[in-house]
Structure 1
Amino acid sequence: MGFFSFLGRVLFASIFILSAWQMFNEFGKDGGPAAKEWAPKLGLVKEFIEGNIGKNNLYFDVKPLARTFVATSVFLKGFGGLLFVLGSSFGAFLLIFYLILTTPILYDFYNYDIGEPKFSVLLYEFLQCVAFLGALLFFQGMKNSILRKQQKKKAPKPKAA
């Protein structure tokens, strides 16, 4: 059972690790293609925030923020994936944090009408990330329940002669 658990973690984490490796190799000075994909999405977030708190209350430039987002994503996916392979709850936490942070921004299917072709693609990717999040939460729950069961077991008392 231990080998299959490890193999499952390797296969699951390979999605994140290989993605982080590709983003790292393409990073460059401008953040690479991932930063170009993030910039318009973060622009929408900026407009949403400005609409709620006012235009001049918060200022940030989208392009450097997109590069920072890509660098943070590379770290969270790469380091979190490696720790997850080793069975670490902290690695799972990093991947959960990454998914919660990026999924609603990157896969914004809610900004499109149902009939548009992009809606279906973004909804599919969003639901896939939600499934990954569910698997990571399941891992965390199983890890915690196993630790609780081990703590409840008491050492046998020696019998008096």
Structure 2
Amino acid sequence: MGFFSFLGRLLFAYIFILSAWQMFNEFGDDGGPAAKEWAPKLHFVKKFVDNRIGNSNLHVDSKTFVAACIFLKGLGGILFVLGSGFGAFLLISCLVLTAPMLYDFYNYDFGEPEFIRLVHEFLQCAAFVGALLFFLGMKNSIPRKKQPQKKAPKPKTA
């Protein structure tokens, strides 16, 4: 059972580790193609926040955002393979931060091919979050092995 649990975690985390590795290899001086894709989306989020709470000094550089994604995916994936709940938390954080911005199906009309593709990808990320939450729930529900208690020495009678 332990081997299959490890294999399942390895195959699941492979998605995130491979993605982080690819982003790292393409990073370069300008952040790579991922930074170019994130720049307009982060600008839209900045405008949205400015409209909701007023003129703020919120500024997220796309290159920094991509570096944070690489860190969350890479470290989270490796820790998840090792069975760490913190690794699952890092992967959940990455998915919750990126999925609503990356798969913005809400900007398209229902029935468009782009809408269907984006909803599919967004729901896949939601399923990943659900699987990670399930992992955290199962990890916390399994009782820890009890340490054997030392037997109290019997009192000697005279």
Alignment TM-score, normalising by the size of structure 1:
0.87
> Equivalent of 1:150, from 136, 144, 154?
144
Which structure shows the higher helix fraction?
1
Partners of 2:149 and 2:67 in 1: how far apart?
Answer: 52
Q: Where in structure 2 are the equivalents of 1:11-160 lying within 5 Å? A: 11-54=11-54, 57-60=55-58, 65-146=61-142, 149-150=143-144
Partners of 2:14 and 2:119 in 1: how far apart?
Answer: 23
Shift in Å, 1:67: 0.6
Partners of 1:154 and 1:9 in 2: how far apart?
Answer: 27
Partners of 1:104 and 1:25 in 2: how far apart?
Answer: 25
Partners of 1:77 and 1:13 in 2: how far apart?
Answer: 9
Q: Secondary structure at the match of 2:144?
A: helix
Q: Secondary structure at the match of 1:138?
A: helix
Q: Does 1:6 align with 2:6?
A: yes
CA displacement 1:30-58 (0-9 Å, x = unmatched)? 1101011111111211121122123xx22
Shift in Å, 1:61: 5.1
- Specify the structure having the higher radius of gyration (Cα): 2
Q: Secondary structure at the match of 1:150?
A: coil
CA contact 2:20–2:71 (8 Å) conserved in 1: yes
Shift in Å, 1:105: 1.2
Partners of 1:154 and 1:76 in 2: how far apart?
Answer: 34
Partners of 2:93 and 2:127 in 1: how far apart?
Answer: 14
Aligned length: 153
Q: Which amino acid aligns with 1:9?
A: R
Report the identity percentage: 70
CA contact 2:46–2:59 (8 Å) conserved in 1: no
Partners of 1:4 and 1:16 in 2: how far apart?
Answer: 19
Shift in Å, 1:156: 7.7
Shift in Å, 1:3: 0.4
Partners of 2:129 and 2:121 in 1: how far apart?
Answer: 12
- Which blocks of at least 5 consecutive residues in structure 1 are unaligned? none
Q: Secondary structure at the match of 2:83?
A: coil
